[in-house]
């Protein structure tokens, strides 16, 4: 099968890669661009571990082919912090013990970042609904909600 | 005993392990790559049970990018996956699993062949080109049906196991009341968010085989591999990186782990295997699948006279690394926190044509607590007394500690509950969670037509079973502290826990501590992270070692500050005179420099500010807990909503309150999964019906109630200096028991719940049976 | 779980897409819309199309337009577009109410309305909407365009009247009069899961009476459909709990539910009864 030359922008950096069409976006990000912060927990769209921001939208990178992201702006967990300064969500996750094994964490961080950027004044109920998208097997979720609420407040305060 | 003043222990410190994990810099199995690596893909059996006649690899070998394809014949010199040390092992040996199926396949998912290719996509393509010729055999789909044959002449009942003490029949004849139950626990498992992974590397220069992606018990697995691969311990190293959740199932030695090692050696290239989710759901250990027929006898005062249980344990297709550990743990913890004068449990340990079973968080305890607490609820109802009251009458008293349970069967180890005040915990929990008010308000809601109710479960957990663990702590010239352990981290906050214990015992700056775990080449011995051993065993070893380092540091400091050692204190890695904190000080870094090899100030001392220490014990530490659940049932749909969940738990000594609560809450939500959502269903033909995360329902955020925790330290363990007990399994143990009780309470029919998980379909069926369905 | 190989095409016009589809239909060439159903199916290798024709880069199919008395939904319109009402009046509100129940936000940001219909999962909310409101589906191929009634479009589980070389280019939903009332209820195990059963009830209220009632069910049988016998109970009745209960019972009596290992037919029938009643109650509020 013919490979396609594509250009992905991940966290502001351009990657020129040649991909087989069948390579999923998560595999291209991880294996061909070397950005292994994005995880893959199911490869069938249920767990959300692979969530990245695609032109600002939180999407599941296992449910897209890499070739489809040609020319798009992708943001992953590696791009959240600015140098040594953690993103408010990252800070809130560690402050509130919102991670144990940390496998689901990149997906939750990107989901929450996407949701809060779109809707900074989101209600608690809407937030739980949005965060119910992703699975975490360790924490029982309570601390994740607490952390995202704390970060939302912080982000609103600026 | 617990230290008099805790400075760092118990505090909610931020975790040492978080920074890489929140920045996407983790090193999980799939993040590890080696140049020129090959990718392995397993062809798995589509049959639940069949004679394997032949495997044709010809076409697969022709796929461009494929380097080799193996079937059993290619590795016939490799024996089956061995047990870790287990006393029951000998009779069970015939039921072990070969890395690739030898002449029969016994479950859908049983590995038949392995493809090694340049790329995982190509490997998956090539597997489709292997053809197998097999003859289907009758399928054993449950443990309580007639046993069949594991192989010609060998029954699928691998063993009839028993645990008993006291007189067994009399109590039932003399009893005022006998309660009888017929209960089933569903098949479910850990299902961590990271699937398994293994990368084998052969260092040709040193002839060392290395396995990456190891977890839980790297040292023990190294020892098993030493036997299986016939290598010296120094020639096999296991490395644990980040692990995406363990829960008992990750880190056992599986066929794929051995295959990547063997392939790395034989094919001369690193070999990587990453399990996909569908494989995980049919290849990784499952658990909990039991059918109990149990009885409990009471005297007229509601005191327990005896307990009997006959149960069928669905082991799946093979006996894996644990041997018969799970059914044995089920039996020996069945009496729980109660005084039971006579006991007889009999387990039919049976093989079926399903994925093999093994340990999953609180193995045998989630199941046995469900069985025992169901009977206590029913007994209370029959006596017409309160559910709490009947438990009160039977809880083992604090004055009876240590409480010993010895079994009649020769060779069975006695249980010695080291310490505990069960009644106090119960009283504190009732008070803390305002049980009485809760019952009143629920009764009121029931009067208004709502199906709401509450239930409880009381249990004892086991942790920190020995025998020994060690640690080595060293402080370098920069003041950085390395804590080297043989423990393992499966995401539970191991580094933080060991860091806090070190900081407390040594007076070290917590943020200067690095904790090493799961590296067999760094430390020769290690207990790993299984059965809630990490905190107790490794934590105790670290505590002892840190104190040794402290002694050494104070000895040098006393020379430097010209003050007797016993007048000095260490805090934040700085030594000062206790009575004069603003006076002269010396840092651990300075002390380390003075102790550096070749230093002129060494005197007669061993160089380096470091020490090694061990914690030995032959005894377990038994934490205990009480769970309360509140549920609401939708009579239309059968949906059971857990409105509140409350955990009261005594852990002896809290290392980090935040982490402990994290364990309890996370465990609890997993328990809710097992009680209401998760089930590995199989068709009669043995076809697995839950191989995706859309069919196997892990709880999502909207299903998780707010879990409230009350942690006490009333019964520190006398088995170790800090009084530690394990916290990993206390959140899950009593969940099914409490939820079942709450459902009964909501619908006004005690004993209604007999099968887990209580899916809406089953709930609706129960409602019909008691006349509440439409 | 890596998909099998395929060739990838990314047309920028609808005409181009249809020409490509015609060319590769024989080789299991398929439309790739949101990919939220197709990609997982390919990951399990349950689908292995030889060619994928990605319609995500065709700009002029991404609009929702009101044309006279109908709402026209293009093949590129994603679920998330319906979070806010796409048109004035009850239809926009109805679609916003329903969309919340579809999967999760990240899936709604990719998956398409037309993709859901083409995929024809019996438990798809949009399929139930299309069946209940008698949507008209516009299929296009190189040999022309045809209009398919929703009731003829859904044949059985994941099978539609679309031919291999046809693309679903538009869906037309009738705008609803301002006196329209509606209720939507579904039951799924967890947030975002496909529902075990759903009920959509729509009627016009005239002089205190129910007119033009529609009761559509999804997730119950092998395809969504209206339950005419139950609608008859509602028509011309004054809304009341008793009428709703009766309609719900009739609905339950008139379905032939699918079964699976965990779910007997009776269970779904019970859900039909409960959810239809609740949807009626919701509509009457
Ligand atoms: C975890 C999860 C949960 C979900 N839950 C729900 C849910 O609760 N309710 C629900 O309705 N859906 C649910 N979905 C499915 C989701 O809504 C999909 O988006 C939808 O079913 C398909 O739309 P799509 O645009 O993604 O289509 P695709 O996946 O791109 O395509 C699906 C099929 O339709 C064909 N196709 C697509 N568009 C056209 C067209 N215009 N013409 C001809 N053929 C076409 C494709 O060739 C393919 O065969 C869920 C999905 C996931 C992963
Ligand atoms: S890996 Fe993409 S959703 Fe699970
Ligand atoms: S922290 Fe382990 S899966 Fe979420």
What pLDDT shows up at residue B531?
A: 62
- Judgement on whether residues A52 and A106 belong to the same structural domain of the protein: no
* CATH number for A73: 3.10.20.30
Q: How confident is the model at residue B424 (pLDDT cuts 50, 70, 90)?
A: very high
What pLDDT shows up at residue B604?
A: 86
What pLDDT shows up at residue B465?
A: 81
- Judgement on whether residues A72 and A92 belong to the same structural domain of the protein: no
> Smallest Cβ distance to B668: which of A95, A129, A140?
A140
Is the domain B290-407+415-463+620-769 a CATH 1.25.40.80 member? no
> Smallest Cβ distance to B22: which of A44, A105, A140?
A105
What pLDDT shows up at residue B2?
A: 38
Per-residue pLDDT at B1 exceeds 60: no
In this structure, the residues whose C-beta lies within 6 A of any atom of ligand 3 are A 99-104, 136-139; B 193, 245, 491
Per-residue pLDDT at B5 exceeds 70: no
Q: Do C8 and A67 lie within an 8 Å CB cutoff?
A: yes
Q: For A63-92, what is each residue's pLDDT tens digit? A: 999 999 999 999 999 999 999 999 999 999
Q: What is the DSSP string of B332-372?
A: HTTTTTB--S-EEEEEEEE--SS--B---SSTTHHHHHHHH
Q: For B492-510, what is each residue's pLDDT tens digit? A: 889 999 999 999 999 999 9
Sheet holding A57-60, edge to edge: A13-19, A4-10, A73-75, A51-54, A57-60
Q: Is the ipTM of this complex over 0.90?
A: yes
Q: Which one of B17, B22, B191, B245 would you pick to mutate in the ligand 3 pocket, going by the greatest count of ligand atoms within 8 A of its CB?
A: B245
Protein residue with its CA nearest to atom 28 in ligand 1: C35
- Judgement on whether residues A38 and A9 belong to the same structural domain of the protein: yes
A29 lines ligand 2 (CB under 6 A): no
Per-residue pLDDT at B669 exceeds 50: yes
Q: How far is CA B143 from CA B312, C6, C268, in A?
A: 6, 45, 30
- The burial class, CB within 10 Å (0-12 / 13-18 / 19+), for B667 is buried
Q: For B498-551, what is each residue's pLDDT tens digit? A: 999 999 999 999 999 999 999 998 988 887 777 667 788 899 999 999 999 999
Instruction: Give the rounded percent of residues in chain C with a pLDDT score beyond 90.
Output: 100
SS3 B622: coil
Q: Do B639 and C273 lie within an 8 Å CB cutoff?
A: no
Cα(B376) to centroid of ligand 2, in Å?
A: 43
Number of Cβ within 10 Å of residue B87's Cβ equals 12
Per-residue pLDDT at B4 exceeds 70: no
Helices (H) and strands (E) in chain A, counts: 5, 5
Number of Cβ within 10 Å of residue A156's Cβ equals 11
Q: B32-137+195-243+250-283, what's its fold?
A: Aldehyde Oxidoreductase; domain 3 (3.90.1170)
Domain boundary among the residues A26, A47, A79 is at: A79
Q: How many CA atoms lie within 13 A of A48 on its CB side?
A: 27
The dihedrals phi and psi of B557, each to the nearest 5 degrees, come to -60, -40
Contact B366, B671 (CB under 8 A): yes
Query: Which residue shows structure tokens 């290239």?
Result: B269
Q: Do A133 and C54 lie within an 8 Å CB cutoff?
A: no
> Smallest Cβ distance to A21: which of C2, C7, C35?
C7
Contact B471, B538 (CB under 8 A): yes
Counting the structural domains of chain A, the total is 2
Q: How confident is the model at residue B317 (pLDDT cuts 50, 70, 90)?
A: very high
Ranges of each domain in chain C: 7-54, 62-174, 180-284
- Judgement on whether residues A97 and A149 belong to the same structural domain of the protein: yes
- Judgement on whether residues A93 and A34 belong to the same structural domain of the protein: no
Q: Please compute the mean of the pLDDT values over residues B568-592 and round it to a whole number.
A: 95
Q: How many CA atoms lie within 13 A of B151 on its CB side?
A: 12
Closest approach of chain B CAs to the CA of A157, in angstroms?
A: 22
What pLDDT shows up at residue B87?
A: 56
Q: For B599-639, what is each residue's pLDDT tens digit? A: 998 888 899 999 999 999 888 999 999 999 999 999 999 99
- Tell which residue, A103, A107, A106, has the closest CA to residue A133: A107
Q: Which one of C72, C105, C115 would you pick to mutate in the ligand 1 pocket, going by the greatest count of ligand atoms within 8 A of its CB?
A: C115
- Which chains touch B (3+ CB pairs under 8 A)? A, C
Per-residue pLDDT at C145 exceeds 70: yes
- Which chains touch C (3+ CB pairs under 8 A)? A, B
Per-residue pLDDT at C118 exceeds 60: yes
Q: Do C2 and B120 lie within an 8 Å CB cutoff?
A: yes
Q: What is the DSSP string of B624-691?
A: EEEEEEEEEE-TTT--EEEEEEEEEEE-SS-SBHHHHHHHHHHHHHHHHIIIII----B-TT--BS--
DSSP C49: -
Q: Do B18 and A101 lie within an 8 Å CB cutoff?
A: no
What pLDDT shows up at residue C147?
A: 98
Closest approach of chain C CAs to the CA of A28, in angstroms?
A: 12
Helix orientation angle between B365-383 and B387-394, rounded to the nearest 10 degrees: 110
What pLDDT shows up at residue B84?
A: 83
Q: How confident is the model at residue B488 (pLDDT cuts 50, 70, 90)?
A: confident
Q: Provide the pairing of β-strand A51-54 with A73-75.
A: antiparallel
What pLDDT shows up at residue B603?
A: 84
Q: C62-174, what's its fold?
A: 3.30.465
C99 lines ligand 1 (CB under 6 A): no
- C238 CA to centre of own chain: 29
Helix orientation angle between B735-747 and B365-383, rounded to the nearest 10 degrees: 30
DSSP A65: B
What pLDDT shows up at residue C120?
A: 98
Q: What is the DSSP string of B18-32?
A: HHHHHTT----GGG-
Q: For B26-81, what is each residue's pLDDT tens digit? A: 999 999 999 999 999 999 999 999 999 999 999 999 999 999 999 999 999 999 99
Cα(A39) to centroid of ligand 2, in Å?
A: 8
- Tell which residue, C178, C156, C180, C154, has the closest CA to residue C168: C154
| Alpha-helical segments (H) within chain C | 14-24, 38-43, 90-99, 105-108, 113-119, 125-132, 150-153, 228-234, 241-253, 265-284
What pLDDT shows up at residue B422?
A: 98
| Alpha-helical segments (H) within B507-649 | 539-561, 588-594
Atom of ligand 2 nearest to the CA of A60: 2
Q: For C205-217, what is each residue's pLDDT tens digit? A: 999 999 999 999 9
Which residues in A lie closer than 8 A to residue B192 (C-beta atoms)? 101, 103, 137
Q: Do C192 and A24 lie within an 8 Å CB cutoff?
A: no
Cα(B191) to centroid of ligand 3, in Å?
A: 11
Residue numbers of the domain that contains A50: 4-79
Report the residue of A36, A137, A143 to disrupt the B interface, i.e. the one with the largest count of B CBs within 10 Å: A137
Q: Do C54 and A132 lie within an 8 Å CB cutoff?
A: no
B681 touches chain C (CB under 8 A): yes
Q: Do B662 and A144 lie within an 8 Å CB cutoff?
A: no
- Judgement on whether residues A75 and A11 belong to the same structural domain of the protein: yes
> Smallest Cβ distance to A63: which of C4, C39, C105?
C39
Closest approach of chain B CAs to the CA of A53, in angstroms?
A: 15
Q: C7-54, what's its fold?
A: 3.30.43
Distance CA A153, CA A158 (A): 9
Query: Any residues with CB less than 8 A from the CB of A138 and at least 6 apart, and which?
Result: A99, A100, A101, A104, B193, B245, B491, B662, B666
Is the domain B18-26+465-616 a CATH 3.40.630.20 member? no
SS3 B84: coil
Comparing alpha-carbon positions, the chain A residue that sits nearest to C5 is: A22
Q: Do B491 and A102 lie within an 8 Å CB cutoff?
A: yes
| Alpha-carbon torsion (B688, B694, B698, B703), positive or negative | negative
What pLDDT shows up at residue B176?
A: 98
> Smallest Cβ distance to A63: which of C6, C36, C100?
C36
Comparing alpha-carbon positions, the chain B residue that sits nearest to A22 is: B121
Instruction: Give the rounded percent of residues in chain B with a pLDDT score beyond 70.
Output: 98
Contact B11, A23 (CB under 8 A): no
Domain with CATH 3.90.1170.50 in chain B: 32-137+195-243+250-283
Lowest mean pLDDT among B6-10, B244-248, B396-400, B597-601: B6-10
- Judgement on whether residues A63 and A114 belong to the same structural domain of the protein: no
Name the average pLDDT for chain B.
Answer: 95
What pLDDT shows up at residue B88?
A: 58
Which residues in B lie closer than 8 A to residue A126 (C-beta atoms)? none
Q: Please compute the mean of the pLDDT values over residues B733-759 and round it to a whole number.
A: 98
Bridge-partner residues for C131, per DSSP?
none
Domain boundary among the residues A79, A96, A121 is at: A79
Strands (E), B24-156: 38-44, 50-56, 66-70, 104-105, 111-117, 131-136, 149-151, 154-155
Q: What is the CATH number of domain C180-284?
A: 3.30.390.50
Domain boundary among the residues A79, A111, A126 is at: A79
Q: Do A62 and C39 lie within an 8 Å CB cutoff?
A: yes
> Smallest Cβ distance to C270: which of B694, B697, B764?
B764
């Amino acid at each position: 099968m013919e490979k396609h030359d594509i250009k992905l922008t991940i966290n502001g950096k351009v990657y020129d890669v040649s991909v087989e069409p069948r390579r999923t976006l998560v595999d291209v990000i991880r294996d061909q661009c070397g950005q292994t912060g994005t995880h893959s927990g199911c490869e069938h769209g249920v767990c959300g571990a692979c969530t990245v921001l695609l032109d600002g939208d939180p999407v599941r990178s296992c449910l897209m082919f890499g070739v489809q992201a040609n020319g798009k702006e992708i943001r992953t967990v590696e791009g959240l912090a600015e140098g040594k300064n953690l993103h408010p969500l990252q800070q809130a996750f560690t402050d509130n013990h919102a991670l144990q094994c940390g496998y689901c964490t990149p997906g939750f961080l990107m989901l929450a970042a996407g949701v809060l950027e779109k809707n900074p004044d989101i209600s608690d109920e809407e937030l739980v609904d949005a965060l119910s998208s992703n699975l975490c097997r360790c924490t029982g979720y309570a601390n994740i909600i607490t952390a995202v609420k704390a970060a939302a407040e912080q982000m609103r305060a600026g | 005993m617990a230290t008099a003043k805790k400075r760092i222990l118990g505090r909610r410190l931020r975790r040492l392990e978080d920074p890489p994990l929140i920045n996407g810099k983790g090193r999980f199995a799939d993040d590890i790559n080696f140049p020129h690596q090959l990718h392995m893909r397993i062809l798995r059996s589509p049959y639940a049970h069949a004679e394997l006649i032949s495997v044709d690899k010809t076409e697969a070998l022709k796929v461009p990018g494929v380097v080799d394809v193996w079937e059993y014949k290619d590795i016939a010199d490799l024996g089956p996956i061995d047990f870790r040390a287990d006393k029951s092992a000998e009779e069970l040996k015939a039921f072990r699993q070969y890395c690739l199926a030898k002449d029969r396949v016994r479950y859908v998912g049983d590995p038949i062949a392995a493809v090694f290719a340049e790329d995982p996509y190509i490997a998956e393509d090539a597997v489709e080109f292997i053809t197998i010729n097999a003859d289907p055999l009758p399928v054993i789909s449950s443990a309580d049906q007639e046993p069949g044959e594991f192989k010609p002449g060998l029954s699928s009942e691998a063993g009839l196991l028993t645990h008993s003490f006291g007189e067994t029949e009399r109590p039932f004849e003399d009893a005022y009341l006998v309660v009888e139950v017929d209960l089933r626990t569903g098949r479910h498992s850990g299902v961590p968010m990271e699937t398994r992974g293994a990368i084998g590397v052969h260092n040709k220069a040193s002839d060392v085989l290395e396995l990456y992606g190891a977890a839980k018990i790297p040292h023990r697995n190294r020892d098993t591999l030493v036997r299986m691969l016939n290598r010296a311990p120094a020639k096999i190293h296991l490395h644990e990186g980040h692990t995406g959740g363990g829960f008992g199932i990750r880190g056992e030695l599986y066929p794929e782990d051995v295959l990547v090692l063997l392939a790395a050696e034989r094919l001369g290239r690193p070999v990587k295997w990453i399990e996909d989710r569908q494989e995980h759901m049919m290849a990784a250990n499952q658990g909990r699948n039991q059918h109990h027929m149990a009885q409990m006898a009471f005297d007229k005062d509601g005191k327990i006279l005896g307990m009997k249980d006959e149960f069928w344990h669905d082991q799946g297709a093979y006996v894996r690394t644990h041997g018969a550990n799970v059914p044995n743990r089920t039996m020996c913890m069945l009496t729980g926190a109660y005084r039971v004068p006579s006991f007889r449990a009999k387990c039919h340990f049976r093989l079926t044509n399903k994925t093999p079973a093994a340990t999953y968080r609180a193995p045998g305890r989630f199941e046995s607590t469900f069985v025992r607490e169901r009977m206590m609820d029913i007994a209370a109802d029959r006596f017409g007394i309160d559910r709490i009251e009947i438990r009160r009458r039977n809880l083992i008293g604090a004055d009876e500690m240590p409480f010993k349970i010895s079994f009649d069967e020769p060779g069975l180890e006695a249980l010695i509950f080291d310490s505990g005040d069960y009644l106090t915990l119960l009283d504190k929990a009732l008070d803390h969670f305002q049980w009485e008010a809760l019952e009143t308000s629920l009764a009121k809601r029931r009067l208004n037509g709502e199906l709401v109710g509450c239930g409880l479960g009381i249990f004892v957990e086991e942790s920190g079973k020995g025998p020994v663990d060690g640690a080595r702590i060293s402080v370098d010239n920069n003041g950085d502290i390395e804590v080297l352990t043989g423990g393992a981290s499966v995401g539970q906050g191991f580094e933080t826990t060991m860091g806090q214990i070190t900081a407390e015992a040594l007076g070290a700056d917590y943020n200067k501590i690095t904790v090493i775990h799961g590296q067999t080449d760094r430390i020769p011995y290690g207990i790993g992270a299984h059965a809630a051993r990490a905190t107790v065993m490794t934590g105790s070893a670290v505590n002892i070692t840190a104190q040794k380092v402290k002694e050494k540091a104070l000895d040098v400091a006393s020379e430097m500050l010209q003050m007797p050692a016993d007048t000095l204190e260490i805090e934040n890695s700085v030594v000062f005179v206790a009575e004069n904190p603003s006076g002269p000080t010396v840092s651990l870094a300075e002390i380390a420099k003075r102790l550096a090899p070749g230093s002129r100030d060494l005197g007669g001392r061993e160089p380096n500010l470091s020490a090694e220490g061990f914690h030995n014990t032959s005894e377990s530490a038994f934490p205990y807990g009480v769970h309360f659940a509140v549920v609401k049932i939708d009579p239309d749909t059968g949906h059971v909503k857990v409105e509140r969940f409350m955990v009261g738990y005594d852990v002896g000594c809290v290392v980090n309150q935040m982490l402990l609560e994290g364990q309890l809450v996370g465990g609890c939500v997993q328990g809710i999964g097992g009680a209401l959502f998760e089930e590995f269903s199989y068709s009669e033909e043995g076809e697995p019906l839950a191989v995706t995360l859309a069919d196997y329902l892990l709880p999502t955020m909207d299903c998780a109630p707010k879990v409230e925790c009350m942690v006490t330290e009333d019964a520190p363990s006398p088995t170790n200096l800090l009084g530690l007990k394990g916290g990993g399994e206390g959140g899950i143990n009593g969940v099914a028991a409490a939820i079942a009780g709450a459902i009964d309470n909501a619908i006004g029919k005690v004993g209604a719940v007999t099968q887990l998980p209580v899916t809406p379909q089953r709930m609706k069926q129960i409602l019909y049976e008691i006349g509440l369905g439409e | 779980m890596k998909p099998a190989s395929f060739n990838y095409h990314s047309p920028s016009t609808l005409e181009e897409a249809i020409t490509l589809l015609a060319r590769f239909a024989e080789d299991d060439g398929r439309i790739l819309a949101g990919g939220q159903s197709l990609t997982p199916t390919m990951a399990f290798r349950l689908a292995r199309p030889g060619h994928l024709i990605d319609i995500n880069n065709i700009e002029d199919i991404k609009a929702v337009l009101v044309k006279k008395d109908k709402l026209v939904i293009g093949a590129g319109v994603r679920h998330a577009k319906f979070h806010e009402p796409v048109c004035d009046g009850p239809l926009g509100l109805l679609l916003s109410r329903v969309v919340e129940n579809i999967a999760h936000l990240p899936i709604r940001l990719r998956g398409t309305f037309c993709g859901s219909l083409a995929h024809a999962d019996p438990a798809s909310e949009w399929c139930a909407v299309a069946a209940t409101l008698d949507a008209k589906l516009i299929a296009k191929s190189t040999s022309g365009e045809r209009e398919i009634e929703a009731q003829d479009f859904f044949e059985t589980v994941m099978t539609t009247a679309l031919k291999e070389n046809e693309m679903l280019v538009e869906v037309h939903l009738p705008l609803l009069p301002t006196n329209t009332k509606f209720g939507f209820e579904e039951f799924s195990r967890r947030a975002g899961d496909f529902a075990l059963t759903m009920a959509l009830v729509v009627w016009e209220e005239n002089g205190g009476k129910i007119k033009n009632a529609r009761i559509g069910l999804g997730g119950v049988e092998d395809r969504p459909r209206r339950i005419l016998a139950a609608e008859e109970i509602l028509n011309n009745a004054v809304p009341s709990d008793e009428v709703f209960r009766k309609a719900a019972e009739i609905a339950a009596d008139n379905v032939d539910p699918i079964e699976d290992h965990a779910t007997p037919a009776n269970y779904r029938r019970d859900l039909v009864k409960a959810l239809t009643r609740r949807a009626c109650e919701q509509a009457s509020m």
